[in-house]
Structure 1
Amino acid sequence: MRETERLVLTPVRATDAAVLFELHRDPGIAPWYALTPEEAAAWVDRQERGWREHGVGKWLAHDRVTGELIGRGGCSVTDIDGEQRVEVGWAVRERFQRRGYATEIGRAGIDFARDELGAVEVVAFTEVHNRASRAVMETLGMTYVRELRRPGLIAGSDAVHDDAPFALYTTGKLNVCA
């Protein structure tokens, strides 16, 4: 568990599948991360395995005072160009967006990666048209590196495409081929 100024961050566990499914149905999150109940269960299993095997995974973010679920985020290990990288991400419920919660979760993730994992760099990526997440990355002091392609959304389409453009950011110099 970690705490920030306004949040309590607790590791995602397999028992959180129903909570994650409901969270991902929120109108502020569903357009980017809609999950079926089965996908939510698989996602939380991956997070729990990440905590167990790598000492890193996503958190559920609750308000420190009310206990209300704000969103989720934190770090995970992801593959970029064949190399394992520490990746930070966030998803915040619509009614809590534009209040700095995504930045607070992202900052906690970056701090965790550096302080607990000894990471010298952290990456983040989002679909190129997700201006809100890109703004959070820039607020966190991350630098745009390049576009990468992976399954995701393309502007103007609700369907997931196998080769969608993503904007890749880093906290440090990322040695990748363009």
Structure 2
Amino acid sequence: MKLKALVYQQKEWNPLQLSTGFPVFPVENITEEALAVWKLHAEEVLLITPTDAGIQAAVRAHMAVAAYADPAFPEQSYAGAWMVIEGFEEVDDEFLERIFQRCHGQPWEIARTKRCVIRELSLEDLPALEKLYQKEGVTWRLDADGERIPGFIEPLFAKEKEKKYQQAYITNMYGYYGYGMWLVFDKASGELIGRAGLEHREFPDAVELELGYLIDPDRQGQGLATEVCQAILAFAREELDFPRVNALTDQKNVASVALLQKLGFYYLEDTDVSGSRTQRYIYEFS
């Protein structure tokens, strides 16, 4: 499902205000019948409207919608719109496409590297993610005797609990902040080969960004973690308003420590902020 066109109700706003490569069509009302005049369907358009009535009509029609804060239509709540556009000056086609994707629950692609695609998780990815987490050495877990099997990250929840957790994560973390822990795919094969991204970590003096990363043990030693983390750090530098990025790692994880040093992180301190003793590394944006 891809965005094919933008639509607006006549007399609400002037399409000449918006510079876009998408075709823009006026509609008399927000219905499939009105779209059919232009040979369009509700699931392939984005409505931009300054009114609550327009937003509610789009929601009923299962149409992606963005609110436009037009002073000519005061006292609107914009309830039901994922995004409120304050002005068209900074709006580009990527921005519009991302609104469309978010309205339809489609994962955003974050970056492409030479060998990888980094994108948001969707619920359809959970079986592949579970398979990755079951690989030896990825997560710690308990054996039949209750003994802890070594690993460096926490295991997933039971299937239904994990599904609910990830749905809430998609809604609240991706939906509100626009970043989080993402998935890493092999660009050539489409295979899930890792997980990496940015989350918040509460330290005693501030809430800061933390870089997390995991590469399939079968694909380690190929420079993929470096490639992916460099792209994520570039995203953080260009898109987010943080002066630095943190990373926490077990000092026994020699490969992780080496990766952080290669990326340009420096050791700051040992900390218990994650619930266990780890080393804290810092990457400064200069």
Q: TM range, normalised to the smaller chain?
A: 0.7 to 0.9
In the alignment, is residue 36 of structure 1 matched against residue 157 of structure 2?
Answer: yes
Maintained 8 Å contact 1:8/1:61: yes
Give the unaligned 5+ runs of structure 1.
Answer: 152-161, 174-178
The one-letter code of the counterpart of 2:224 is Y
Map residues 119-134 of structure 1 onto 2, 5 A cutoff: 119-134=242-257
2:284 is matched with: 172
Q: Distance in 2 between matches of 1:91 and 1:121?
A: 21
Q: Distance in 2 between matches of 1:127 and 1:42?
A: 29
Q: Higher Cα Rg: structure 1 or 2?
A: 2
Maintained 8 Å contact 1:27/1:93: no
1:74 is matched with: 197
Q: Distance in 1 between matches of 2:252 and 2:181?
A: 23
C-alpha distance after superposition, 1:92-145 (max 9, x if no partner): 111101111111121121111111113221111112211111111111000110
**Higher RCO (Cα < 8 Å, 6 or more apart):** 1
Q: Distance in 2 between matches of 1:32 and 1:122?
A: 20
Return the TM-score normalized by structure 2: 0.52
Q: Distance in 2 between matches of 1:106 and 1:92?
A: 11
More strand by share: 1
Deviation at 1:74, TM superposition (A): 1.4
C-alpha distance after superposition, 1:66-101 (max 9, x if no partner): 112111101112212252111111101111011111
Q: 2:272 aligns with which of 149, 160, 172?
A: 149
Structure 1 range deviating more: 80-89 or 29-38: 29-38
In the alignment, is residue 16 of structure 1 matched against residue 125 of structure 2?
Answer: yes
Q: Distance in 2 between matches of 1:88 and 1:46?
A: 21
1:87 is matched with: 210
Maintained 8 Å contact 1:137/1:169: yes
The one-letter code of the counterpart of 1:5 is K
Matched position secondary structure for 1:16: helix
Matched position secondary structure for 1:50: helix
Q: Distance in 2 between matches of 1:80 and 1:149?
A: 10
Q: Distance in 2 between matches of 1:103 and 1:42?
A: 31
Deviation at 1:27, TM superposition (A): 1.8
Matched position secondary structure for 2:152: helix
Deviation at 1:54, TM superposition (A): 1.5
Aligned-residue CA RMSD in angstroms? 2.1
Q: Distance in 1 between matches of 2:137 and 2:228?
A: 16
Matched position secondary structure for 2:272: strand
| Number of equivalences | 162
Q: Distance in 2 between matches of 1:43 and 1:29?
A: 20
1:4 is matched with: 113
Matched position secondary structure for 2:126: helix
2:188 is matched with: 65
Give the unaligned 5+ runs of structure 2.
Answer: 1-108, 140-150
Identity %: 27
Maintained 8 Å contact 1:126/1:134: yes
